[in-house]
């Protein structure tokens, strides 16, 4: 009986590498609503790099080469596994969670993920991300991370995203010529002068009180500007 079992195992080990791949199954995990890298995209990437898989003998498929191609893709954060299951090649990866759509001062645009990594722009991204624009000097560079003013913008973006009220109210951050952040409100036409990311939690909390207890009664179009830079208070400038 032991000999029979061993024979079956050896036979399987001999036959499986001779079998040919008939399917590629890609599983992309994403926190965005839009999936930037689908199975069709992966298949096209492999084909563009001269990697044939479908119809090829399993033993002749270089999984190291497949991994290297995927690792070069800027939208992939982590490759969880790439391996064969029978005649199917399984590819599983996590995509970067994009949180910021940046328009730099030179007219370029790119995305930033939650970890601060710069990601190239693609029209495939349809999510309604927070927009950062104005006097942003940092331009896109492969493999770069946010720095300087853009780091502060990302810090505030993270705090806005952590609260549904803030996220509904503020969807754009403008960096003015003094390197101060201005939040563009969704309700009303007022500009919120936010300053730097210093004491950001307190500033946002104060703004929430003003919007919920003040502007909701007086009207969102009452003030042209709210200045949140001062401790424990918001200075409001009336609409002319």
pLDDT in tens, 131-164: 999 999 999 999 999 999 999 999 999 999 999 9
Percent of the chain with pLDDT over 70: 88
Task: Compute the distance between CA of residue 185 and CA of residue 170 in angstroms, rounded to an integer.
Answer: 5
Residue from 66, 108, 105, 104 nearest 84 by CA: 66
Judge whether residue 17 has pLDDT over 80: no
pLDDT for the residue 186: 82
The pLDDT tens digits for 58-102 are 999 999 999 999 999 999 999 999 999 999 999 999 999 999 999
Q: Which helix (H) or strand (E) holds 95?
A: strand 88-95
- What mean pLDDT do residues 106-133 have? 96
Which pLDDT tens digit goes with each residue over 195-204? 999 999 999 9
Residues 109, 86: contact at Cβ < 8 Å?
no
The pLDDT assigned to 185 comes to 85
Mean per-residue pLDDT, 36-48: 95
Which residue carries 């730099």 as its tokens?
Answer: 104
| Res 9: pLDDT | 43
List, in order, residues 6 or more apart from 236 with CB less than 8 Å away. 210, 222, 223, 225, 226, 227
From the options 3.40.50.11690, 3.40.1280.10, 3.40.50.620, 3.40.50.2300, give the CATH code of 98-238.
3.40.50.11690
CATH of domain 20-95: 3.10.20
More confident residue, 232 or 33: 33
Residue 210, pLDDT above cutoff 90: no
Angle at the Cα of 31 (from 135 to 212), degrees rounded to 5?
65
Q: For all residues of the chain together, what is the average pLDDT?
A: 89
Separation of alpha carbons 146 and 165, rounded Å: 26
- Smallest Cα–Cα separation from 114: which of 130, 136, 126, 138? 130
Residue with tokens 């409001």: 236
Rounded average pLDDT over 106-116: 97
3-state secondary structure of 53: coil
Residue-wise pLDDT for 214-233, tens only, equals 765 666 666 778 899 988 88
Domain boundaries, the chain: 20-95, 98-238
**CA distance readout (Å), 85 to 63, 68, 78, 79:** 13, 20, 20, 17
At residue 1, the pLDDT reads 53
Average confidence (pLDDT) over 31-57: 95
């Amino acid at each position: 009986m032991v000999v029979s079992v061993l024979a079956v195992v050896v036979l399987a080990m001999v036959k499986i590498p001779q079998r040919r791949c008939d399917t590629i199954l890609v599983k992309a995990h994403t926190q965005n609503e839009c999936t930037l890298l689908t199975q069709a995209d992966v298949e096209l990437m492999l084909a563009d790099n001269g990697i044939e898989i479908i119809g090829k003998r399993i033993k002749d498929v270089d999984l190291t080469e497949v991994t290297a191609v995927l690792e070069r893709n800027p939208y992939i954060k982590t490759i969880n596994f790439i391996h064969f299951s029978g005649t199917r090649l399984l590819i599983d990866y996590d995509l970067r969670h994009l949180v910021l759509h940046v328009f730099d001062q030179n007219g370029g645009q790119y995305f930033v993920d939650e970890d601060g990594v710069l990601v190239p722009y693609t029209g495939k991204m349809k999510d309604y991300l927070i927009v950062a624009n104005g006097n942003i000097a940092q331009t896109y560079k492969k493999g770069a991370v946010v720095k300087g003013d853009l780091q502060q913008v990302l810090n505030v973006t993270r705090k806005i995203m952590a609260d549904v009220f803030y996220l509904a109210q503020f969807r754009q951050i403008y960096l003015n010529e003094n390197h101060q952040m201005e939040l563009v409100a969704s309700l009303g036409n007022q500009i919120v002068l936010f300053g730097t990311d210093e004491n950001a939690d307190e500033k946002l909390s104060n703004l929430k009180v003003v919007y919920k207890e003040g502007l909701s009664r007086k009207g969102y179009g009452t003030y042209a500007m709210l200045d949140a830079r001062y401790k424990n208070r918001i200075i409001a400038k009336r609409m002319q």
